[in-house]
Structure 1
Amino acid sequence: MAVKALLFDFDGTLLNTNDLIIQTFMHVLEERFPGQYSSKDCLNFIGPSLKQTFSDIAPGEEDAMMAKYRTWNVLHHDELVTDYPDVVATLEHLKSMGIQLAIVSTKRNEMIDRGLGVLGATHLFDVRIGTDDVKNVKPNPEPVLLALERLGVAKEDAIMIGDNSHDIEAGHNAGVKAAGVAWSIRGADYLLQFKPEYMLQAMTDLIDIVKEG
């Protein structure tokens, strides 16, 4: 295997949006279900699509709940997201090595672009796949396979990287190796259950992984 492409989840992998996501869910849920949910409960909602989450929580109310979520989330996005160490510098290094980079996320393209702008990494990605591009989100392999198709890269030459079970499972379901990130809010031990081929302790670990091929 020669690594030619790296596919990244976005939230919780490249940009720390955990506080933003948890606070947004708490805002929406506290209004609809006062006192029924805690911040810890919201950890379960990080990873799945909004539609899937709200379908489980409030069947039939998904559209209204999603609209409230998005309104608050957009309003507070830039103030509540934070950087992870070495992300942009590592992406720039990988790019200079000739590695193609893609985003494979369960959020809308508009918000991926917003986050990339805050991160200062818009120019580094060849492809970005959001919910607007697919019928089925992770852990379904569709978004990973679409990213590979648009990159023109074979599955054996790519790695899917993320902070959630959905990322690792989507990679494996698409026949792609997967890497978990130890800075996941759920922790490395949680991710190891899903048997990623790699566990990144730091973003810079990717440079050695690519070199070793």
Structure 2
Amino acid sequence: MTVRAALFDLDGTLVDSLGDITDAVNHMLASFGRPSLAAPSVRQLVGKGARDLVRRALGTGSQDDITRALDLFVAYNSNHIADKSALYPGAWEALHQLAESGIRMAVISNKNEALCRLVMEALGIVRQFEIICGGDTFSEMKPSPLPLLRVVERLGVAPHEAVMIGDSINDVQAGQRAGVTTIGCAWGYGGEKELTGADHRAVSFRGVTAILLKGSA
């Protein structure tokens, strides 16, 4: 395996953003007079984009309600993008090591692209990535292979020369469908069961870099 590009998921992979996402969800729910949700409950809703997140958190409501809920969520999250969010241990060092090794990097998230850029800027990693894509960047989001295929095309690498690194079944399935090798991150939000189909499994960023750098040698 020759690795020329690393494609990272964001929430639950590079960034632990659950606290800020939970706060934004509960701000939205309070506006509708709904009870708040604990972080473990919100964690189960993360992964398929903001609209799906607020729809499931709201439980019931018209399309107008969901649109209003989405606006409330995005506005609050934008204004509190990194109150509690932080890089996972070893992420900063791994990104610098990969950059020094000549591996090109992109973020492919189902989070809104604008929110991706905001949190990455706040945490000081936005300049490490050539491409940043969110769930609203393309016509489809993960687990569709489309975002991965578009990104590797833009990077000028073949799918078999790229690796998708993520914590959920969306990342694993998108990689499989795109012909991209996958690394499942055991520290994220998806849980072990969602990573069973990954080509590799890592319990730390040291493990991720070991796999990638071995493949780039």
Q: Structure 2 length normalisation: TM-score?
A: 0.89
Structure 1: how far apart are the matches of 2:39 and 2:128? 33
Structure 2: how far apart are the matches of 1:38 and 1:124? 33
Task: Name the SS of the counterpart of 1:133 in structure 2.
Answer: coil
Structure 2: how far apart are the matches of 1:83 and 1:34? 31
Distance 1:148 1:27, change over 3 A: same
1:198 corresponds, among 191, 200, 209, to 200
1:66 corresponds, among 61, 64, 70, to 70
Partner of 2:214: 212
Task: Name the SS of the counterpart of 1:26 in structure 2.
Answer: helix
1:109 and 2:119 are equivalent in the alignment? no
Q: Which amino acid aligns with 1:205?
A: G
2:164 corresponds, among 160, 167, 175, to 160
- Aligned positions of 1:128-167 closer than 5 A: 128-167=132-171
Residues 30 and 37, structure 1, Cα contact 8 Å, conserved in 2: no
How far the C-alpha of 1:30 sits from its partner, in A, is 4.1
Structure 1: how far apart are the matches of 2:40 and 2:209? 34
Distance 1:128 1:97, change over 3 A: same
Q: Could you list the structure 1 runs, at least 4 aligned residues long, displaced by more than 6 angstroms after superposition.
A: none
Partner of 2:104: 100
Residues 134 and 143, structure 1, Cα contact 8 Å, conserved in 2: yes
| 1:142-197 C-alpha deviation (Å, 9 max, x unpaired) | 1111111111111111111112221111111212111111111343x23333x111
1:90 corresponds, among 91, 94, 108, to 94
Residues 7 and 101, structure 1, Cα contact 8 Å, conserved in 2: yes
Partner of 2:41: 41
Q: Which amino acid aligns with 1:144?
A: L
Give unmatched runs, 5+ long, in structure 1: none
Report the RMSD for the aligned CA atoms in angstroms. 1.9
1:75 corresponds, among 76, 79, 86, to 79
Greater displacement, 62-71 / 128-137: 128-137
Distance 1:156 1:67, change over 3 A: same
Structure 1: how far apart are the matches of 2:80 and 2:140? 28
Structure 2: how far apart are the matches of 1:29 and 1:186? 23
Q: Which amino acid aligns with 1:26?
A: N
1:6 and 2:6 are equivalent in the alignment? yes
Structure 2: how far apart are the matches of 1:41 and 1:212? 37
| 1:83-102 C-alpha deviation (Å, 9 max, x unpaired) | 21111111111111110100
Q: How many residues align?
A: 211
Structure 2: how far apart are the matches of 1:18 and 1:41? 10
How far the C-alpha of 1:63 sits from its partner, in A, is 1.4
Structure 2: how far apart are the matches of 1:2 and 1:35? 50
Residues 186 and 202, structure 2, Cα contact 8 Å, conserved in 1: yes
Q: Structure 1 length normalisation: TM-score?
A: 0.90
